[in-house]
Amino acid sequence: MSGSDGEHPVPNSFSRWDFEHKKRTSFAWYKFKGRKTLCASQKTERGVAGEVFRLCWRMLDLLGAEGQSSEESSNSDPGYTTVVRKEWRAPEVVKLLKWLDRYRIKRMGYRERKPGPRPHRSLRLSSGQVPTTLRRPIANLPETFHDKVWFVGLLPCQRIELNASDAVELPLYVFTWPTNASLPVDPDDHDEY
């Protein structure tokens, strides 16, 4: 209850959906912020490495937090959350995002055990087993950010609404770097990307 008599408003009770939605969006924001911070710290490097991080920074800037993966609680195991797939994203974009995560873990030592509550584990399932997002795809993204098969399956009116811009370069050559062999592997990542 709120009024002019100085009382504080009584908070509305959140439904389970509201709670799950907030968890998903906070995970996406956390991933976005961490990836952007990494790219911002590395994009001033000279040469190919700096170029890779500048291109990844631009990709993240265009995707925003809404373009990052989200999670939902696992019904079978409370210690896990399942990563929700955005079927409209190109596999190359997903691979680059995962590469950034692996690079960040190696650089920052995030796998080291720290005091406090045990972190949950994020499970990435393979196609057919993974839940897909119910949210609409982000409009005005470059053509190269969209999955080709998904894009071809759109109706003409959906393509107009999506308003995909011209293709931009994605630094896929980063996957040929020999240093990738030393990046940590996520044992809970079972998708094909």
Report yes or no: 166 and 109 within 8 Å, Cβ to Cβ: no
Rounded CA separation 33/36 (Å): 5
* Per-residue pLDDT at 69 exceeds 70: yes
- Write down the pLDDT at residue 123: 56
Percentage of residues in the chain with pLDDT exceeding 70? 63
- For residues 72-92, give the mean pLDDT: 73
Phi-psi region at 33: left, alpha or beta (left = phi > 0; alpha = psi -120 to 50)? alpha
* Per-residue pLDDT at 10 exceeds 50: no
Sequence letter at residue 114 = K
Which of 85, 86, 59 has the alpha carbon at shortest distance from 141? 59
Q: Give Cα separations from 56 to 47, 106, 124, 136 (angstroms).
A: 15, 17, 22, 23
- H and E: helices and strands count for the chain: 5, 3
pLDDT grade, residue 26 (50/70/90)?
confident
Residue owning tokens 């590395």: 42
